[in-house]
Amino acid sequence: MAVFEYARSVSEGASLFTRVSSFVYHLVGTVVDWNDARATRSALSSLSNEELDDIGLVRADINEIR
């Protein structure tokens, strides 16, 4: 009876794929966050000063949204 042992190691290609996919995932997340903040600033900019006051903001606060 023969016994076979398979030692599996992570190849260089798999490691590179993991790093690249992690980078792309982070990049996409950053772009999504930037776009959400841009859309929020745009929506708040269209409100009147009275409407901003109703939600507890002043016009100067809009630029601080990140």
Residue 1 placed within a domain: no
Residue 8 placed within a domain: no
pLDDT at residue 63 greater than cutoff 60: yes
Assign 51 a pLDDT band (cuts: 50, 70, 90).
very high
Tokens of 52: 């901003």
**Whole-number mean pLDDT of the chain?**
89
Residue 57 placed within a domain: yes
pLDDT at residue 24 greater than cutoff 70: yes
Mean pLDDT within 24-51: 97
Residue 2 placed within a domain: no
Classify burial at 24, counting beta carbons within 10 Å of its beta carbon; exposed 0-12, middle 13-18, buried 19 or more. Answer: exposed
Domains held by the chain: number: 1
Residue 56 placed within a domain: yes
Residue 7 placed within a domain: no
Give the ranges where the chain is alpha helix by DSSP (H). 12-45, 49-54
Mean pLDDT within 37-58: 97
Q: What domain range is 42 assigned to?
A: 21-64
Assign 14 a pLDDT band (cuts: 50, 70, 90).
confident
